Amino acid sequence: MAEAVAANSVESKQYIVVVLGSEHYGVDINFIDNIVRMQSITRVPKVQPYFEGVINLRGEVIPVMSLRKRFGLEPDEVTGKTRILILKPEAQGSIGIIVDSVKEVLTLANDNIDKPSAKGIDDDKANFLTGVGKNGDELVSILNIMEVIQDKEEEE
Amino acid sequence: MDVSQYLEIFIDETKEHLQSLNEQLLVLEKEPENADTINEIFRAAHSLKGMAGTMGYKIMQEVTHKWEDVFSEVRNGKMKVTPDLVDVLFKGLDKLETILDNIINAGNEGDDKCEELIAQLIGFVNGGGAAPAAAAPAAAPKKKAPAKTAAPAEPAAVATETKSEDSSKEKFRQFKYADFEQHAINKAIDEGTNAFGITVYIQESCLLKAARAFMVFKKLEEMGTIAKSEPAVQDIEDERFDLDFSMVFLTKEGADRVKQAIMNVSEVECAYVSALSKDEVESATIKEESAQTDSGAADATATATENKPTATQNAAATAGKPVVNRSVRVDIEKLDDLMNLVSELIIAKNGLVSLNAQQDEVNHAVGNAMGPQIEYLERITTNLHQSVMKVRMVPLESVFNRFPRMIRDVSKSLNKKINLVISGEETELDRTVIDEIGDPLTHLLRNAADHGIETAEERAKTNKPEVGTINLNAYQEGNNVVIEVKDDGNGIDVEKVKRKAIEKGTISKEQSEVMTDKEIIDLLFKPSFSTAEKVSELSGRGVGLDVVKTNIEKLGGDVEVRTVLGGGSNFIVRLPLTLAIIQSLMVEIGTEKYAIPLGSIQTIEDIPVSDLKYVQSREVIHLRGSVIPIIRLNQILDIESTKGADDNLTVVIVSKGDKLAGFVVDNLIGQQEIVIKSIGKYIESPKMISGATILGDGEVALILDVNTLV
């Protein structure tokens, strides 16, 4: 479905808008496999600090990271709205990211997305974004998923 | 003609043939006169040629054809097997392997036309054919006779292409009859039955030659009896023939009807049918005496007489007839699917088990009928798992069998004398491990040959036997399979390694002084560390042992070295028997659950804190005569222990080879069959965690890697 829509409108893409604190982020819908409620997470020792651990999703073991910790924000406060976005960037290999809540599906035309300007956003985070989209009055930061889930600095 | 659907079978069978050729050539090198081996090679080359031809691989066909020529000469005693010839043959084998690789990877044979090689082989055929004749002119006329009688009996491939006259196509005219066959035919003719010689040609495009041949046989058997066929019926059924087969057929029907019946079978190109006379049969019958007298070479006679009672046809077709194997080739992917399903089943079963346990608590286990059924289910799933595992198991032989050849080449190029002793090749391992273990082992063996074994002169100085020995040994140990590569060479010079490490800046001088010998030797497994004085073609490029180590660790195994300076080294590779499902002990540390593979657990001990001793400021316990280091899992895994400082310690004693260690845990939960799952990409899994598993209640527990922790 999602692909069909994307194909029809050449210039626009669909995004899932998630909320993190007071900010809105958009995740390309093509990456998303599933959205699940918060569930018990098994901690894995000695991994990157922003990884919360692993969960069992229908028999698959999937690592889960906290987007808040990844962005250096306050730790998550689990509420009824907390969700885990299951992303599937590659055929084999899923990863979950924890967000405060999921808001809506948004269709954004490509020309409605501004490339991130170097100013105003701190460098660390700038890499994680591909641009900023305008949704009415709100601004939605479009996440660069591959950048978020891959750990360049520590891999070396 | 679309043959792609046969490609896989072709590849599998070609691999088998190449392997068998490799083994036979090694034998031949040692026993150049071994007639069985020569026949076996001839047969394998012939089959390869046929298969390559069918698939349209011209270069392969050409090379194997030349092989066949060479061995046909050898078989007829016209040529001797020389070391030079064996070298060229080995080279040819490598070429064939390259071609096969190209076919697998690129779908074609590649650009190398192998002209040089083919020329060399032709040279041997020509030169070799002349040499014995010149050397022993007196024997020559005698030798010619058996050569002639044997040659036409070969599954002739050469003759058909050039000549087109009917007489040469009527291959039954070249039949040699055994006495009993002659009698049968004569008797039939006496009784007024027609004896026909028949040669049937099947269309080149036919893919199921055996099936067509079978149909021809069936049709004929409705009308009469087949007195003799060439190749033998069994070979025809196994498709070991080119495009034609011939037979002697006894029937009351006329020649036209017989021919008609054969031509009615589809994909038959043409059939030659003509009546045989008694004289013809008689003249072609091999007499006992002639076989005795005419052969100069003793071996040739031996084969000829041996084969006589069974059939008079060529030795190659009959000598190495394999025992019929009741087995099925299965795609490894299907097995993987099956394995996954079994894994799912076990997870589901574990779910049921834990549900049942909860129910028991509620109902106080009064009259619970679920229990026995669940136990039954547990037994079945465990057995099912074992059966599937067994199906996936492949003996290490399939990896080991390439090594004799390799060591031969290596020892030649290094000019060392090396004897490779293989044992335990029947030990079985999971298919996925088998596929990956070849390269690391190759490396270790080359290492042993290159760095381990000394040159013959050096060995002489140290009073060692001139021929060095490399032992390749495999055996099972608990849930592991151990493969040892042991040489009786010079061993590892710890001082040399130390010097090199300091030179390279891997360690500092101060560090080197406090390091144990073992730690120094472990440096060899560090990336880009090679002690070879010279960079040789074989090893010493500095990408050796670290690659071995990473590859083996990727398989969930580990490698260690034991070495005695002057006495040799022993590389011990330890691999898990299975990659998917294991029995484990579930333990609790703090509030978290971890699984420890049962195979590595020795005992579980309850130790009072007062029994703890300190050696080099490490905690140890003294248990039944051995000092065992204590590893507090809660510290390593960053968990708060729920136990007080004065409580007794629950210690799980684990082993890695003959090394022991004690894991301190808070609670024991129990034994459980667990399915190993990867903890996923993107997360940098720590080495001490070998994977994760899903428990009965749906929670994820991590599996501890004993080999890394000990």
Mean pLDDT of B39-51: 81
Q: What is the model's pLDDT at position B474?
A: 92
Catalytic residue among B17, B46, B65, B443: B46
* Same domain (yes/no): B298, B354: no
CA distance B173 to B272: 11
* Same domain (yes/no): B349, B495: no
Domain boundary among B315, B348, B364: B315
β-pairing, A95-99 vs A60-66, is parallel
Among A48, A63, A151, the residue with its CB nearest the CB of B680 is A63
CA distance A54 to A51: 8
Residue B667 falls in the annotated catalytic set: no
Domain boundary among B101, B135, B169: B135
Optimal mutation site among B581, B676, B683, interface A, most CBs of chain A within 10 A: B683
Among B592, B639, B678, the residue with its CB nearest the CB of A61 is B678
* Same domain (yes/no): B557, B613: no
* Same domain (yes/no): B572, B585: no
- Say how many C-beta atoms besides its own lie within 10 A of residue B362's C-beta: 8
* Same domain (yes/no): B69, B191: no
Predicted confidence band of residue B287 (pLDDT cuts 50, 70, 90): low
- A149 interfaces chain B, CB cutoff of 8 Å: yes
Among A46-60, B263-277, B524-538, the least confident range? B524-538
Q: What percent of chain B has pLDDT over 90?
A: 7
| Cβ contacts from A onto B, under 8 A | 78
- Which pairs with CB-CB distance under 8 Å and at least 24 residues apart come from B29-35? B29/B83, B29/B86, B29/B408, B32/B80, B32/B81, B32/B82, B32/B86, B33/B81, B33/B299, B34/B299, B35/B75, B35/B299, B35/B300, B35/B302, B35/B303, B35/B315
β-pairing, B393-395 vs B428-430, is antiparallel
Q: Is the sign of the CA dihedral B239, B244, B248, B254 positive or negative? A: positive
B153 within domain boundaries: no
CB contact (8 A) between residue A92 and residue B682 = no
Q: What percent of chain B has pLDDT over 70?
A: 83
Q: What is the model's pLDDT at position B483?
A: 92
The DSSP letter of residue B455 is P
* Same domain (yes/no): B547, B630: no
Mean pLDDT of B450-470: 84
Q: Is the sign of the CA dihedral B639, B640, B644, B645 positive or negative? A: positive
B482 within domain boundaries: yes
Query: Which among B309, B353, B259, B281 has a CA at the least distance from the CA of B673?
Result: B353
B183 within domain boundaries: yes
- Give the domain range for residue B86: 4-135
CA distance B481 to B399: 14
Residue B426 falls in the annotated catalytic set: no
SS (H, E, C) B207-238: CCHHHHHHHHHHHHHHHEEEEEEECCHHHHHC
* Same domain (yes/no): B422, B384: no
Give the tens place of pLDDT for each residue, B72-116: 778 777 777 788 888 888 888 888 888 888 888 777 777 777 777
Are the C-beta atoms of residues B281 and B177 closer than 8 Å to each other? Answer: yes
**Does pLDDT of B652 surpass 90?**
yes
The model's pTM = 0.52
Give the tens place of pLDDT for each residue, B461-520: 888 888 888 999 998 877 678 999 998 888 888 888 888 778 777 777 787 777 888 778
Predicted confidence band of residue B51 (pLDDT cuts 50, 70, 90): confident
Which CATH number goes with the domain that contains B664?
A: 2.40.50.180
Mean pLDDT of chain B: 76
* SS3 call for A23: strand
More confident residue, B662 or B279: B662
CA distance B483 to B557: 11
Provide the residue count of chain A: 156
Chain B hits for A54, CB-CB cut-off 8 Å, are: 679-680, 683, 692, 700, 702
Low-confidence ranges of chain A (pLDDT < 70): 1-10, 116-126, 151-156
Mean pLDDT of B280-294: 56
Nearest CA in chain B to A46: B686
The total number of structural domains in chain B stands at 5
Distance, first Cα to last Cα, chain A: 39
Predicted confidence band of residue B558 (pLDDT cuts 50, 70, 90): confident
Give the tens place of pLDDT for each residue, B147-180: 444 444 444 444 334 334 455 667 777 777 777 7
B143 within domain boundaries: no
Would you say the ipTM is above 0.85?
no
CATH number of A2-149: 3.40.1190.20, 2.40.50.180, 2.60.120.260, 2.60.120.560? 2.40.50.180
B142 within domain boundaries: no
Q: Tell me, rounded to whole angstroms, the distance of Cα B29 from its chain centroid.
A: 21
Peptide linkage before B155 cis (omega within 30 of 0): no
- Which pairs with CB-CB distance under 8 Å and at least 24 residues apart come from B276-282? B276/B172, B276/B185, B276/B195, B276/B196, B276/B197, B276/B248, B277/B189, B278/B185, B278/B186, B278/B189, B280/B173, B281/B177, B281/B182, B281/B185, B281/B186, B281/B195, B282/B182, B282/B186
Give the tens place of pLDDT for each residue, B581-610: 788 999 999 889 999 988 889 999 999 988
Predicted confidence band of residue B365 (pLDDT cuts 50, 70, 90): low
B149 within domain boundaries: no
Among A42, A90, A151, the residue with its CB nearest the CB of B702 is A42
Q: Which residues of B578-611 are buried (b: 16+ CB within 10 A; e: fewer)?
A: bbbbbebbbbbbbebbbbbbbbbbeeebebeeee
Q: What is the model's pLDDT at position A96?
A: 92
- Say how many C-beta atoms besides its own lie within 10 A of residue B112's C-beta: 13
CB contact (8 A) between residue A154 and residue B683 = no
More confident residue, B230 or B700: B700
Q: What is the model's pLDDT at position B289?
A: 44
Most confident among A7-21, B566-580, B642-656 (mean pLDDT): B642-656
* Same domain (yes/no): B551, B455: yes
Predicted confidence band of residue B288 (pLDDT cuts 50, 70, 90): very low
Chain B hits for A151, CB-CB cut-off 8 Å, are: 682, 684
Q: What is the model's pLDDT at position B531?
A: 52
Domain boundary among B358, B389, B420: B389
CA distance B524 to B509: 17
- B686 interfaces chain A, CB cutoff of 8 Å: yes
**Does pLDDT of B369 surpass 80?**
no
CB contact (8 A) between residue A54 and residue B679 = yes
Instruction: Tell me the angle at which helices B431-447 and B545-554 cross, rounded to the nearest 10 degrees.
Output: 160
Nearest Cα of chain B lies from the Cα of A16 at a distance, in angstroms, of: 22
Residue B672's DSSP bridge partners are: B584
More confident residue, B519 or B653: B653
* Same domain (yes/no): B532, B627: no
**Does pLDDT of B302 surpass 50?**
no
Nearest CA in chain B to A91: B681
CB contact (8 A) between residue A42 and residue B680 = no
CA distance B673 to B650: 22
Residue B68 falls in the annotated catalytic set: yes
CA distance B223 to B259: 12
Which structure tokens are listed for B308? 């006589």
* SS3 call for B551: helix
Residue B487's DSSP bridge partners are: B470
* Same domain (yes/no): B586, B571: no
Among B344, B637, B692, the residue with its CB nearest the CB of A61 is B692
Residue B202: is it exposed, middle or buried by C-beta count within 10 angstroms (0-12/13-18/19+)?
buried
Mean pLDDT of B24-52: 81
Give the tens place of pLDDT for each residue, B310-351: 444 444 444 444 445 567 778 878 888 888 888 888 888 888
CB contact (8 A) between residue B702 and residue A92 = no
Which CATH number goes with the domain that contains B65?
A: 1.20.120.160
Place of tokens 């896989």: B8
Mean pLDDT of B135-148: 39
Nearest CA in chain A to B687: A46
CA distance B221 to B388: 44
Chain A hits for B681, CB-CB cut-off 8 Å, are: 63, 90, 92-93, 95
Q: Name residues 636-665 of chain B within 8 A of A (Cβ).
A: 636-639
B140 within domain boundaries: no
Cβ neighbours of residue B548 closer than 8 Å, sequence gap 6 or more: B440, B443, B444, B525, B559
- A92 interfaces chain B, CB cutoff of 8 Å: yes
B648 within domain boundaries: yes
* Same domain (yes/no): B448, B513: yes
β-pairing, B659-665 vs B613-615, is unpaired
* Same domain (yes/no): B368, B453: no
Among B636, B689, B699, the residue with its CB nearest the CB of A56 is B699
Cβ neighbours of residue B218 closer than 8 Å, sequence gap 6 or more: none
Give the tens place of pLDDT for each residue, B216-264: 877 787 787 777 777 777 777 777 777 788 888 888 877 888 888 888 7
Q: What is the model's pLDDT at position B604?
A: 94
* SS3 call for B352: helix
